[in-house]
Structure 1
Amino acid sequence: MKPITVHVWDLPLRLFHWLLLVAVAGALISVQLEAMEWHGRFGLAVLGLLVFRVFWGFIGSTHARFASFAPGPSSLADYLRGRWQGLGHNPLGALSVFAILAVLAFQAGSGLFADDVIAYTGPLRRAVSGDTSSWLTGWHMRMEYVIYGLIALHLGAIAFHEFIKRERLVRPMITGRKQIETTSPQDARGGGWMAFLIAVLIAAAAVWLANGALLSPPPPPPQDLGW
């Protein structure tokens, strides 16, 4: 059967993918360089992108929607037996997607309330108690190693599919198109510009709120009266 080119990944999803890569890399590099102001900025960018992705998972195009790739026991069994067929994320890839989104969501969210008492205070630190902030700060620092592990697994899975199974994953995430062998190709549908605009506005509002827009300003420092 002659391979046919099918449109799988929409442009907003591809932009999300590569921008998330830049934002996560920036957050990890900046914390190693102790550039904590930039670390916070990259963290807010990650949060905004994740909020966008959650909404895009419901109003995006066919294969961007969570309902299209959320794995179940039967699909996992079919994939492990080599009987699964699909255009979007395979069942194991879908589990990886959900794991990455969940871990990054916790990391970005916990960073909002973190306080290392030295170089960084999250924009929502004043909204929680000191004990809660300390607990979230501790887990925020520990989860960094989990992120490194997920990145290693993600890169390993890509290498396996690209070089062992000869299944191209990177190019479709750039072009949006994938070559498959089928007699009834169906391009992804939905996720138009109005849906994109709504998701972007919601993500921007989430970043605005996460940056402490609704918190009252901190009290001014006590003045030295010279007594």
Structure 2
Amino acid sequence: MKKIIRVWDLPIRLFHWLLVLCIITSFITVKIGGNAMELHALSGYCILTLIIFRVFWGLIGSYHARFINFVPSPKRLLQYLTGKTSGGLGHNPLGALSVLALLGSVGVQAITGLFTNDDIAFEGPFAKYVSSGTVELLTSIHYFNEKILIAVIALHLCAIFYYQKFKGENLIKPMLLGDKEIDPSDEAKHLPADLGRASKDGGLQRGFALLLLGLIALILIYFIKR
């Protein structure tokens, strides 16, 4: 009988899929331009809210969501690459680096977007607080980082396909349902600490996550609307 372990709590799953939706919206609206830039800006604010939430949740959230439990040390990364240790139930060491790269690139894109000015249809809400030279620099970073972000997303999708096709591991289903099914014959492949540490995902934790997300959104709205 397979062992079922809650790996991704509901806040992490909602964060993931809302981020996907917002990124797609941002890419589409920036290509349309014109009046769609208002929706592009709104999508950017939502992305920044989500990224800030994920940083906090990476510090105080459930077991597998915490950075300390999945960001690898150089030693563990080397052991994983040489096949001396398993990847764990959550993000494996390479997956962890991919997540950090994605969060970093998306975060840079959202923050620089607050200062951008395309001289046509959009000016970021914080552009008025810095010099024109700084606006120009951050706008250039915003445009250049878009290419980096596309590359990071493509790598992320390729990794999902690789694990599904060649390792028989479905990475999408757990991010939808939250659970991973472990066959008893495969338990030896996983770290004992992982097998005994399911992520908490109760009503209290979900309510706290919603409160945290709402507080971040309100603070961000306050500064944007000033």
TM-score, normalised to structure 2's length?
Answer: 0.88
Specify the alignment match of 1:225 in structure 2: none
The answer on whether the counterparts of 1:60 and 1:190 sit within 8 Å (CA) in structure 2 is no
Go from structure 1 to structure 2 and tell me whether the alpha carbon gap of 1:75 and 1:3 turns closer, same or farther (over 3 Å shift): farther
The answer on whether the counterparts of 1:20 and 1:46 sit within 8 Å (CA) in structure 2 is yes
Specify the alignment match of 1:9 in structure 2: 8
2:220 to 186, 207, 221: 207
Specify the alignment match of 1:28 in structure 2: 27
Task: Answer yes or no: is 1:182 the counterpart of 2:187.
Answer: yes
Return the letter of the residue paired with 2:41: G
Specify the alignment match of 1:83 in structure 2: 84
Report the secondary structure of 1:182's partner residue: helix
Task: Answer yes or no: is 1:54 the counterpart of 2:52.
Answer: no
Question: 2:99, 2:222 → 1: CA distance?
Answer: 26
Return the letter of the residue paired with 2:58: G
Q: Which runs of 5+ in 2 are unaligned?
A: 189-194
Task: Answer yes or no: is 1:107 the counterpart of 2:112.
Answer: no
2:119 to 117, 123, 126: 117
| CA RMSD of superposed structures (Å) | 1.7
Question: 1:100, 1:210 → 2: CA distance?
Answer: 25
State the Cα distance separating 1:108 from its structure 2 match: 0.4
Q: Residue by residue, what CA displacement relative to the aligned partner does 1:161-206 show, whole Å, maximum 9, x if unpaired?
A: 0111111100000000001233854421378135313421332134
Return the letter of the residue paired with 2:72: P
Identity, in percent, stands at 42
Go from structure 1 to structure 2 and tell me whether the alpha carbon gap of 1:200 and 1:26 turns closer, same or farther (over 3 Å shift): same
Superposition misfits of 4+ residues, deviation over 6 angstroms: none
The answer on whether the counterparts of 1:52 and 1:202 sit within 8 Å (CA) in structure 2 is no
Report the secondary structure of 2:75's partner residue: helix
Task: Answer yes or no: is 1:39 the counterpart of 2:40.
Answer: yes
The answer on whether the counterparts of 1:6 and 1:177 sit within 8 Å (CA) in structure 2 is yes
Question: 1:53, 1:89 → 2: CA distance?
Answer: 15
Q: Which runs of 5+ in 1 are unaligned?
A: 215-227
Q: Identify the range of structure 1 (185-194 vs 133-142) with the bigger mean alpha-carbon deviation.
A: 185-194
Specify the alignment match of 1:195 in structure 2: 208
Q: Residue by residue, what CA displacement relative to the aligned partner does 1:103-158 show, whole Å, maximum 9, x if unpaired?
A: 11111000001111111100111111111001101111111111110111000000
Q: Residue by residue, what CA displacement relative to the aligned partner does 1:74-126 show, whole Å, maximum 9, x if unpaired?
A: 21112112233311100000001111111111110000011111111001111
Q: Residue by residue, what CA displacement relative to the aligned partner does 1:190-223 show, whole Å, maximum 9, x if unpaired?
A: 7813531342133213431452x33xxxxxxxxx
Larger Rg: 1
Aligned pair count reads 212
1 or 2, which has the higher helix percentage?
A: 2
Q: Residue by residue, what CA displacement relative to the aligned partner does 1:36-88 show, whole Å, maximum 9, x if unpaired?
A: 11111111111011011111111111001111101111211121122333111
TM-score, normalised to structure 1's length?
Answer: 0.88
The answer on whether the counterparts of 1:26 and 1:39 sit within 8 Å (CA) in structure 2 is yes
Specify the alignment match of 1:63 in structure 2: 64
Question: 1:94, 1:41 → 2: CA distance?
Answer: 28
Return the letter of the residue paired with 1:88: G
